[in-house]
Structure 1
Amino acid sequence: MTAKMLRFVTLGRAMPEKRGAELRRHDFDEIYREFRPEEAADQASRCSQCGVPFCQVHCPVHNNIPDWLKLAAEGRLEEAYETSSATNNFPEICGRICPQDRLCEGNCVIEQAGHGTVTIGAIEKFITDTAWEKGWVKPVRPRRERRQSIGIVGAGPAGLAAAEELRRQGYQVTVYDRYDRAGGLLIYGIPAFKLEKEVVQRRTALLVEAGVTFTLNFEVGRDASLEELRRRHDAILIACGVYKARDIQAPGVGLHNIVPALDYLTASNRSSLGDHVPAFASGALDARGKNVVVIGGGDTAMDCVRTAVRQGALSVKCLYRRDRANMPGSQREVAHAEEEGVEFVWLAQPEAFVGGSGNADPYKLTGLRAQRIHLGIADATGRQQPRPIEGSHFHLPADLAIKALGFDPENLPEAMGAPGLELTRWGSVKLDWKRMATNLEGVFAAGDIVRGASLVVWAIRDGRDAAAAIQRYLMAKEAGLSATAAE
């Protein structure tokens, strides 16, 4: 081991410079500036090069983190990029949006020892951004072309990761997506201050250069049924994600200006990309000058509150029925939101939405009545259950309420014209995880549509696993074997 490593005992943890909250409140630029090369090398050198690297164990794609940290510390950035990209199709995206505090950095050994974690995500971003600047990132070039074709339904992270892996093996890949741009939630769901859209667009452009075909504005079930796609291709991967917003049952929920989180975020992102969005232009999905209340405590809720701040909201509150320690969203995101002026109303839930009084529009939202909560006995999952406190009602003014309560799968058998497709009791696609296969011959699935709304990095992992499973299936079919015989 070189003397360049193990510097955590003499060198403190540092992140790239963070733009001031007052400055970043007024734009959608990413909040962290770039590491300088010497800063990235110094921070990488803090790695203790563990014999059992828990950072790698807790990374869904099992990145070889200690290896590329060592290479970065030694200034061998091209090799660091090659090592990083060997296990992750989009390291610059994960470096920006992964909740490292819950995954690699949260399980860093020196963090547990009290020295402060290695800033893994920021270094990963630096390595890959440098690789793009230097021209080291190249489209995949298969050694030979294969005649079999694969149709991928969904151009989100699972579908894109699978497309690259399958194209690497020489398969003919077509990606179908209902939207007009590839990227899924990477483009339309995640705000630009966390993930600038050019970062996603250059990846999809690289896939086009590699020979992947994109068929956009194409909805399975409308433009072609799943059965028709099965006849076009040798295998199908369903990677369409989950987009059905969970709703809330409360009096007044039908009032105007109570909107699902994804509608709100999509309108904001489309507007930032230069699209004309009537609901945004009319002000219906624009928070400017409004009292905004976001209901929920996950990462989507954090995206909404921070977007509302940047749109010029009069006030922004996040209403969550549990406390800070029990919220599912990233604690880093909560801290960023607080710096930017978001007020968190912990241990509270909406009881009713109020509107109409004194307004020309009797259906216009004016506020919501909320109720205080205490956390009761833990259930089978280990989480304490929220219980309303009688007589604890209070009022919050609200001109716009955003429901960030999570997402469920759509009814795919109905939507895709595939009545034989089996689902779980949660509505997700039922999967043989060993083969990443559905009950339909030659149809596979990956990402949120099988595991529920989850992290981008898990979608990447599923996409890679599905690509490997599809290759095994096609090779077995070509050899005249059954799928199980190829295991």
Structure 2
Amino acid sequence: MPRKMLQFTHLHQRQPDKRGAAERRKDFGEISTAFETERAAEQASRCEQCGIPFCSIHCPLGNNVPDWLMLVAQDRMEEAYAVSSSTNTFPEICGRICPQDRLCEGNCVLEQSTHGNVTIGAVEKHITETAFAQGWVKPVLAGVESGRSVGIIGGGPAGLAAAESLRRKGHSVTVYDRHDRMGGLLIYGIPGFKLEKDVVERRIRLLAEAGVKFETGVEIGKTVSFAELRKRHDAVLIATGVYKAKPLGIPGSDLPGVHAALDYLIAQNRRDLGDTVESLDAKGKNVVVIGGGDTAMDCVRTAIRQGAKSVKCLYRRDRANMPGSKREVAHAEEEGVEFVWMAAPEMVNGKAKAEGVKAVRMHLGMPDASGRQSPVAIEGSGFQLPADMVIAALGFDPEDVPALFGAPELKVSKWGTVETDGDLMASLPGVFGAGDIVRGASLVVWAIKDGRDAAESIHRYVSGVAMKAAE
């Protein structure tokens, strides 16, 4: 039944139902149930259909959010999927893991007017899952084959988004990845309770059906040289992401029992995928996770599910200044995580292995260059936290790509990211960059945006069309 829009005056915001904390602590399944069709349409009808859609403006992909909300409210679901997928390569993934509270939903006019934002992410997920169930999601049609070939290094969101776009234009596309599966952090870095792995694998199968070729277990510079890769293809895209953990930089950080966040998350994701891996298990342990971003939230919530004795998150600023999603913090608290705000680690205690974390209380001082207040240690405020497992979740830096690839002529920034021009072309002709390896550690939605943009530039390059940056 078609519904009128602007129903926010009498329909309250309702998120999809969540499984209870006690239940979801027992497994790695997604915590939210799917919207029922009627509720999804009702929630979509709350949209104000703003003249200036701030939800779209604050979406890196520029998704036409008001349009597909209106189509859902009118029960025109196939059209809603067509509009949603026209700007987003992986709407079913963004609907699950985008920090909507910081992007579209956080900037919804209804949120600013205290009516409660439209539940955009949940409706986006509902649209795509309906489309899959109805058989509307098909492999891309290449049309006329171009005879041009593109190699993509990295099977994460940027690389896969570029692969889809390039294949649609008729180019031959091969994606190379050093892991044994495609998906990058979507598979190995993000826990199943946020993104179940069959959702990613389903999309990768579609890309394979479209003719994208995948080669796993390929390390550029070892398995094949970068020079050879450039000879194989008319253009190459570097979309490796950033995997090198930022160091704790405190005494004791090299003790057994201290782990990098990504090592810890990869181990659990591999278990969920059925692999036999070295045990990195928090069962029965006192766990301290150091950091305040989304990766830290992934770690604390994983430790809870593994049966840790206690799980504490140590963060040097307060809740208001935490970089991670506020929703993820709330989920973690519901599941039993304890947050130790305004505290920073000074050292990891222990002789043969980690036994605790010595920390100091902080207060927020003057703003730094970014405008955020700088945390300052309070003298004489030191305290101890028991910990036989310490996880460092301080973010990621780029690996030394020129050294790994054996390509010293490839220019990188002072931060180690690959330097590109306005067309996302690197310092070498026909070599492009996209995603975190260009912009630094960021969001999946930005990686998708970069991958799509790089694909447009690559298409122009291999087609012999003048590049925009040179025009």
TM-score where L is the length of structure 2: 0.99
* Rounded Cα–Cα distance in structure 2 between residues aligned with 1:50 and 1:436: 33
* Rounded Cα–Cα distance in structure 2 between residues aligned with 1:338 and 1:206: 37
- Contact map agreement 1:189 1:266 (CA 8 A) in 2: yes
- Partner-residue secondary structure (3-state), 2:181: coil
Q: Which residue of 2 aligns with 1:208?
A: 208
- Partner-residue secondary structure (3-state), 1:377: strand
- Contact map agreement 2:345 2:359 (CA 8 A) in 1: yes
What is the total number of aligned residue pairs between the two structures? Answer: 470
Deviation at 1:143, TM superposition (A): 1.5
Q: Share of identical aligned residues, percent?
A: 66
Deviation at 1:301, TM superposition (A): 0.1
Q: Which residue of 2 aligns with 1:340?
A: 335
Aligned with residue 350 of structure 1, among 345, 348, 355: 345
Matched, 1:416 2:405: yes
Aligned with residue 388 of structure 1, among 377, 385, 409: 377
1:258-284, Cα deviation, whole Å (9 max, x unpaired): 00000000000001111000x21xxxx
Q: Which residue of 2 aligns with 1:326?
A: 321
Aligned with residue 446 of structure 2, among 443, 458, 472: 458
1:57-76, Cα deviation, whole Å (9 max, x unpaired): 00000000000000000111
1:356-410, Cα deviation, whole Å (9 max, x unpaired): 3xxxxxx111111111011110012101111111110100000100000000000
Q: How does 1:72-151 map to 2 (within 5 A)?
A: 72-151=72-151
- Partner-residue secondary structure (3-state), 1:35: coil
**Unaligned stretches of 5+ residues in structure 1:** 357-362
- Contact map agreement 1:225 1:418 (CA 8 A) in 2: no
Going from structure 1 to structure 2, the CA distance change for 1:371 and 1:486 (only over 3 Å counts) comes to closer
- Partner-residue secondary structure (3-state), 1:468: helix
- Partner-residue secondary structure (3-state), 1:70: helix
Q: Which residue of 2 aligns with 1:309?
A: 304
Matched, 1:446 2:434: yes
Deviation at 1:352, TM superposition (A): 1.0
One-letter amino acid matched to 2:333? E
1:291-345, Cα deviation, whole Å (9 max, x unpaired): 0000000000000000000000000000000111111000000000000000000
Instruction: State the 4+ residue runs in structure 1 displaced beyond 4 angstroms.
Output: 484-487
Aligned with residue 405 of structure 1, among 389, 394, 401: 394
Q: Which residue of 2 aligns with 1:276?
A: 276
Q: Which residue of 2 aligns with 1:191?
A: 191
Aligned with residue 286 of structure 1, among 274, 281, 285: 281
- Partner-residue secondary structure (3-state), 1:391: coil
- Contact map agreement 1:230 1:236 (CA 8 A) in 2: yes
Q: Which residue of 1 aligns with 2:366?
A: 377
Deviation at 1:226, TM superposition (A): 1.4
- Contact map agreement 1:28 1:193 (CA 8 A) in 2: yes
* Rounded Cα–Cα distance in structure 2 between residues aligned with 1:177 and 1:446: 15
Q: How does 1:152-301 map to 2 (within 5 A)?
A: 152-277=152-277, 279-280=278-279, 285-301=280-296
Q: Which residue of 2 aligns with 1:359?
A: none
* Rounded Cα–Cα distance in structure 2 between residues aligned with 1:459 and 1:483: 21
TM-score where L is the length of structure 1: 0.95
- Partner-residue secondary structure (3-state), 2:151: strand
One-letter amino acid matched to 1:262? L
Deviation at 1:485, TM superposition (A): 8.4
Deviation at 1:484, TM superposition (A): 5.6
* Rounded Cα–Cα distance in structure 2 between residues aligned with 1:436 and 1:128: 30
CA RMSD of aligned residues (A): 1.0
